[in-house]
Structure 1
Amino acid sequence: MPDMADIQGSYDDLFTAVPEALCDLLDAGDAGGSVAVYVDGEPVVDVWGGHADAGRTIPWQRDTLVGVWSVTKTMTALCALILADRGDLDVDVPVARYWPEFAAAGKEQVLVRHLLSHTAGLPDWDGTVTPEDLYDRESVTARLAAQAPWWEPGTEAGYHSLTQGFLVGEVIRRVTGRGVGEFLAEQVTGPLGADFHIGLPAEHDHRVALTVPPPHRDEDYAARAPGSTAPAGGNGVRVRDGNSVAWRRAEIPAASGFGTARSIALAQSVMVCGGAVRGTRLLSAAGCERAWQEQFAGQDRILGMPVRYGLGYGLFGTTYGWGGWGGSLVMIEPEARSVVVYVTNQMREPEEDTRGLEVVMSAYDGLQGLRV
Structure 2
Amino acid sequence: MAVGGKCDPKFAKVKEEFERNLAARGEVGASVCLSVNGETAVDLWGGMANPETCDPWQEDTISIVFSCTKAAVALSAHILIDRGLLALDAPVKDYWPEFAQKGKEKTTVRMMLNHESALPTLRDPVKPGGFADWDYMAGRMADEEAFWEVGTRNGYHMINFGWTVGELVRRVSGKSLGTFFREEVAEKTGAKFWIGLPESEDVHVAPIRQYVPKPDDQPSEFVIKLMTDPDSIQHKSFLNTGGWDFNDRKGQAAEIGGGGGLSNARGQVAWYTELATNSGKLVSSDRLAAMSMVSTATQRDATLLIPTRFASGFMKSMDNRGLGIGPGTSAIIGEKAFGHVGAGGSIGFADPECGLAFSYTMNQMGNGLLLNERCQSLIDAAYMALGYRTNAPGAWVR
TM > 0.5 fold call: yes
In structure 2, how many angstroms separate the alpha carbons of the residues matched to 1:326 and 1:232? 19
Correspondence for 1:8 among 4, 20, 24: 4
In structure 1, how many angstroms separate the alpha carbons of the residues matched to 2:224 and 2:108? 29
Alignment of 1:150-161 (within 5 A): 150-161=147-158
CA contact (8 A) 1:95 1:102 kept: yes
Counterpart check, 1:356 vs 2:375: yes
CA contact (8 A) 1:275 1:288 kept: no
- Residue type matched to 2:191 in 1? A
Counterpart check, 1:274 vs 2:271: no
CA contact (8 A) 1:331 1:339 kept: yes
For residue 193 of structure 1, what is the aligned residue in structure 2?
190
How far residue 268 of structure 1 moved from its aligned partner, in angstroms, is: 1.4
CA offsets, 1:176-212, max 9 Å, x none? 1111110011111011111100000011000000101
177 and 138 in structure 1: CA distance in 2 versus 1, 3 angstrom threshold: same
How far residue 135 of structure 1 moved from its aligned partner, in angstroms, is: 1.0
For residue 13 of structure 2, what is the aligned residue in structure 1?
17
Counterpart check, 1:367 vs 2:386: yes
In structure 2, how many angstroms separate the alpha carbons of the residues matched to 1:275 and 1:128? 44
CA offsets, 1:34-57, max 9 Å, x none? 001111222111110001013261
Aligned length: 357
Correspondence for 1:345 among 358, 363, 383: 363
CA contact (8 A) 1:53 1:212 kept: no
Identity %: 34
Counterpart of 1:34 in 2: which secondary structure? strand
Alignment of 1:39-50 (within 5 A): 39-50=36-47
Counterpart check, 1:145 vs 2:142: yes
CA offsets, 1:212-239, max 9 Å, x none? 122479xxxxxx9855441471435599
Structure 2 alignment gaps of length 5 or more: 215-219, 227-234, 318-334, 389-396
In structure 1, how many angstroms separate the alpha carbons of the residues matched to 2:131 and 2:254? 8
- Residue type matched to 1:154 in 2? G
For residue 353 of structure 2, what is the aligned residue in structure 1?
335
In structure 1, how many angstroms separate the alpha carbons of the residues matched to 2:213 and 2:117? 37
In structure 1, how many angstroms separate the alpha carbons of the residues matched to 2:105 and 2:275? 31
- Residue type matched to 1:58 in 2? D
Counterpart of 1:359 in 2: which secondary structure? helix
How far residue 320 of structure 1 moved from its aligned partner, in angstroms, is: 2.0
Correspondence for 1:320 among 313, 330, 338: 338
- Residue type matched to 1:282 in 2? L
For residue 105 of structure 1, what is the aligned residue in structure 2?
102
- Residue type matched to 1:306 in 2? P
354 and 71 in structure 1: CA distance in 2 versus 1, 3 angstrom threshold: same
Counterpart check, 1:205 vs 2:202: yes
Correspondence for 1:115 among 112, 115, 118: 112
How far residue 143 of structure 1 moved from its aligned partner, in angstroms, is: 1.2
For residue 305 of structure 2, what is the aligned residue in structure 1?
304
CA contact (8 A) 2:7 2:41 kept: yes
In structure 2, how many angstroms separate the alpha carbons of the residues matched to 1:319 and 1:194? 20
**CA RMSD, Structure 1 to Structure 2 (Å):** 2.3
How far residue 85 of structure 1 moved from its aligned partner, in angstroms, is: 0.7
CA contact (8 A) 1:248 1:256 kept: yes
Structure 1 alignment gaps of length 5 or more: 218-223
How far residue 105 of structure 1 moved from its aligned partner, in angstroms, is: 1.5
Counterpart of 1:19 in 2: which secondary structure? helix
98 and 206 in structure 1: CA distance in 2 versus 1, 3 angstrom threshold: same
Counterpart of 1:282 in 2: which secondary structure? coil
In structure 2, how many angstroms separate the alpha carbons of the residues matched to 1:148 and 1:240? 23
How far residue 341 of structure 1 moved from its aligned partner, in angstroms, is: 0.6
Q: 294-303 or 244-253, which moves further after superposition?
A: 294-303
Q: 39-48 or 193-202, which moves further after superposition?
A: 39-48
Counterpart of 1:247 in 2: which secondary structure? helix
Alignment of 1:253-292 (within 5 A): 253-276=257-280, 281-292=281-292
How far residue 91 of structure 1 moved from its aligned partner, in angstroms, is: 1.2
For residue 325 of structure 2, what is the aligned residue in structure 1?
none
In structure 2, how many angstroms separate the alpha carbons of the residues matched to 1:189 and 1:69? 17
CA contact (8 A) 2:195 2:255 kept: yes
CA contact (8 A) 2:123 2:236 kept: no
CA contact (8 A) 2:310 2:316 kept: yes
For residue 221 of structure 1, what is the aligned residue in structure 2?
none
How far residue 313 of structure 1 moved from its aligned partner, in angstroms, is: 0.5
Alignment of 1:144-183 (within 5 A): 144-183=141-180
TM-score in terms of structure 1 length: 0.90
In structure 1, how many angstroms separate the alpha carbons of the residues matched to 2:22 and 2:238? 32
163 and 251 in structure 1: CA distance in 2 versus 1, 3 angstrom threshold: same
Correspondence for 2:130 among 125, 133, 137: 133
Q: 28-37 or 350-359, which moves further after superposition?
A: 350-359
- Residue type matched to 2:382 in 1? A
Counterpart of 1:52 in 2: which secondary structure? strand
